[in-house]
Amino acid sequence: MSGPNAQATHLYDAVSSQKEQIVDGFADQREALKRAVEEQRIAAMPEHMRRAALGPSAVVSAEIVEHLQRIIAREVTRQLELAVRAMMTQSQAEKAAAEQAAAGDSTPER
């Protein structure tokens, strides 16, 4: 096919391809918007309704996340307490060493 019919077919294919891309883009945007609206709707629900709306697997997942958060919070608290204790011990040791050095400097020389 050469001539005007080939050019018309080529132009038609190009326009058709662009139309399909645009329509597919709108469909993707529509699906993304639907998901966003559903997520916002669920997020606005009270906790007990949210769990029911999400289903059993989501409830189990949420429980796992809650347990992990508690475990992490306990471990972070434990690590902070250890760090504070170590800093206090080091501070007391430095203070005692400074006092001992000061007491050693004030002793009369023979």
Tens of pLDDT, residues 34-79? 999 988 988 888 877 877 777 888 778 888 999 999 999 999 999 9
How much is the mean pLDDT over the chain?
Answer: 85
Q: Is the predicted pLDDT of residue 100 greater than 60, yes or no?
A: yes
In which element (H, E) is residue 24 found? helix 4-43
* Model pTM score: 0.43
Task: Please give the C-alpha separations between residue 65 and each of 47, 52, 58, 60, in angstroms, as whole numbers.
Answer: 15, 17, 10, 9
Whole-angstrom distance, CA of residue 23 vs CA of residue 38: 22
CB 79 within 8 A of CB 87: no
Instruction: Give the span between the Cα atoms of 37 and 92, in whole angstroms.
Output: 58
- Quick one: average pLDDT of 5-18? 78
